[in-house]
Amino acid sequence: MSRTERSPRSTIHDVARAAAVSRQTVSNALNNPHRVKPDTLARVHVEIDRLGYRPSSAAQTLRHQRAGAVGVELNVMGEATSDVAHPFLVELSLAGPAHGCHLVPFASRDATPMLAGYHDMVRRRLVDAFVIADTHTGDPRPGWLAREQIPYAAFGRVYDDPSVTTWADVDGYAGTSEAVDHLVERGYTRIGYLGWPSGSEVGDERHRGWVEASTRHRLPDAPEATASQALAEATARAERLLDGVGRGGAVVCASDGLALGVLHAGLRRGWTIGRDIGLTGFDGSASARMHGLTTLVQPLDRIADHCLALVHDLLAGGSAPHTGALFIPTLTIGDSTDPTKEGTS
């Protein structure tokens, strides 16, 4: 990995002069890059590269007090990975450099993987903090991390402890509500709902959005059903739901996976998705793109950026924000809500 073509003697002064910035800015570019404007940051790094500048050993020692890394659990338990697990990791990796950190994923096949895996990462001194995802009621991680005084930010609200404000999440209520608005605008009048069994905070919030918008638009009572994410079950429940909604109606779904069940049920009865039945998913998964589904894309880039900013503030000893951050998903329109088109495959 040697780069002998570059001078080893460049100093922080040389870099500052070449990039026309102060020494402090060069230092910030290395240690607190989020404080530096993107174009300045890029210019400084060009000069660091060109001059082959290496931070002094003192600065390096300072940096070595921290791993400079944030741990992310890759959940390997259960059948299906979340549709957004991989895209979220991509966004965290993309956002890392601007927050002066990198990501270290970890996984475990143990029956009780979570705390053992987190503990192992800390024991190996690989990370300074964690970003956790898929939070839920009864989640043991927030409490454990707090007791161990390990900083973390959550993608998802910390339901068991409303005093925790270091989280970012998607606004499910706003999402399904917007899906109904869109379907009404497209001319669908009978708009049913396929959700998860009640009791999951994420699912209940998305359901409330459909109820609110249906009431606001004074839509006639439309049927609703629940299913797990398993495609066979979602398809079976969708069969009956489609009987109730009828040809020409629409279905708002709590997830892209559930929408896939409606799509299959529709295909089986020879309906064209879009023309014969309007359909919206939720999450903006690769599967939704592939199937031409109208869906609510989670703003994973902003959520990842916010999580890393929170972690950075916690590590810097700054005060936590007063509230978590709720991000509105983006309605992305596919053929599945176009009543005039041949529809999706």
Site residues for a second copy per CB under 8 A: 1-2, 49, 64, 69, 74, 76, 79-81, 85-87, 89-90, 93-94, 96-97, 102-109, 120, 122-124, 126, 148-150, 230-232, 235-236, 257, 261, 264, 267-268, 270, 286-287, 289-292, 344-345
- Quote the radius of gyration of the chain (alpha carbons, Å): 24
Least Cβ distance, residue 286 to a second copy (angstroms): 6
227 alpha carbon, distance to own chain's centre: 23
CB-facing half-sphere around the CA of 119: CA atoms within 13 A: 8
**Nearer to a second copy by C-beta: 216 or 268?**
268
Least Cβ distance, residue 261 to a second copy (angstroms): 8
In degrees, to the nearest 5, what angle opens at C-alpha 104 toward C-alphas 103 and 106? 140
Whether residue 296 contacts residue 331, with contact meaning beta carbons closer than 8 Å, is answered with yes
DSSP state of 12: H
**Nearer to a second copy by C-beta: 90 or 185?**
90
Least Cβ distance, residue 81 to a second copy (angstroms): 6
Least Cβ distance, residue 28 to a second copy (angstroms): 16
Least Cβ distance, residue 227 to a second copy (angstroms): 12
**Nearer to a second copy by C-beta: 16 or 70?**
70
Least Cβ distance, residue 10 to a second copy (angstroms): 14
The H or E element spanning position 126 is none
Phi then psi for residue 332, to 5 deg, are: -115, 120
Tell me whether residue 154 is exposed, middle or buried, using C-beta atoms within 10 angstroms of its C-beta: 0 to 12, 13 to 18, 19 or more: buried
**Nearer to a second copy by C-beta: 69 or 184?**
69
**Nearer to a second copy by C-beta: 209 or 334?**
334
Least Cβ distance, residue 284 to a second copy (angstroms): 13
Whether residue 68 contacts residue 125, with contact meaning beta carbons closer than 8 Å, is answered with no
Q: Which tokens hold the place of 312?
A: 């950075």
**Nearer to a second copy by C-beta: 100 or 249?**
100
Residues in the chain: 345
The Cα 246–Cα 192 span in angstroms is 10
The H or E element spanning position 132 is strand 129-133
Closest CA to 310 of 299, 325, 329: 325
**Nearer to a second copy by C-beta: 213 or 314?**
314
